[in-house]
């Protein structure tokens, strides 16, 4: 049976570590699909920290834009693909002025066509104050729309706070 998991939470809530544990206990071949771009030293350090924590058994792939295509290329029934993270993907799409809803449709269609187990990590950004500028509001709205779309097709959805998972679905 196809299984798709969405893991949401705030920054530094423990989402990635929780998701990596799901992968490591699955018995499947682990693939890490990174959407982030190392624009500065801080991001380079975060990427290095995540790589060290995962270890050599993981195969890392970087894809900042074509997430649907990457899922298709990595597909296979013995694979588990951890996508970290959807909010960085939304940022990349916005910076490239991509058609957001069309990209979301492509991703949801790819999820439905994939036989690999999928785990998506994303930052929940809709719990705070209303952003004070149009771009930040658009980002929040796009992320919320994407989360709803992925949660709808996911078999499991978790919200992580202080490293503790709350099951929302599944």
Rounded to whole angstroms, the Cα distance separating 115 from 118 reads 9
Do β-strands 59-62 and 156-161 pair in parallel, antiparallel, or remain unpaired? unpaired
> Is 61 known to be catalytic?
no
Query: Which entry of 31, 50, 142, 147 is annotated as an active-site residue?
Result: 50
Closest CA to 3 of 153, 104, 164: 153
Rounded to whole angstroms, the Cα distance separating 12 from 35 reads 17
Rounded to whole angstroms, the Cα distance separating 157 from 168 reads 5
DSSP3 helix / strand / coil % (the chain, rounded to 5): 45, 25, 30
Active site residues: 50
């Amino acid at each position: 049976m196809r299984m798709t998991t969405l893991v949401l939470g705030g920054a530094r809530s423990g989402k990635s570590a929780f998701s990596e544990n799901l992968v490591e206990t699955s018995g499947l071949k682990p693939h890490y699909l990174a959407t982030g771009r190392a624009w500065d030293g801080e991001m380079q350090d975060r990427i290095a920290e995540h790589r060290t924590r995962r270890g050599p058994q993981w195969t890392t792939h970087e894809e900042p834009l074509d997430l649907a295509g990457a899922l298709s290329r990595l597909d296979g029934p013995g694979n588990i693909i951890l996508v970290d993270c959807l909010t960085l993907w939304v940022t990349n799409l916005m910076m490239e002025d991509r058609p957001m809803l069309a990209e979301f449709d492509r991703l949801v269609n790819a999820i439905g066509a994939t036989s690999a187990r999928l785990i998506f990590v994303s930052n929940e950004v809709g719990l705070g104050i209303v952003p004070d500028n149009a771009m930040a509001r658009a980002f929040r709205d796009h992320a919320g729309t994407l989360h709803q779309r992925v949660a709808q097709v996911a078999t499991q959805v978790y919200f992580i706070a202080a490293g503790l998972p709350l099951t929302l679905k599944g």
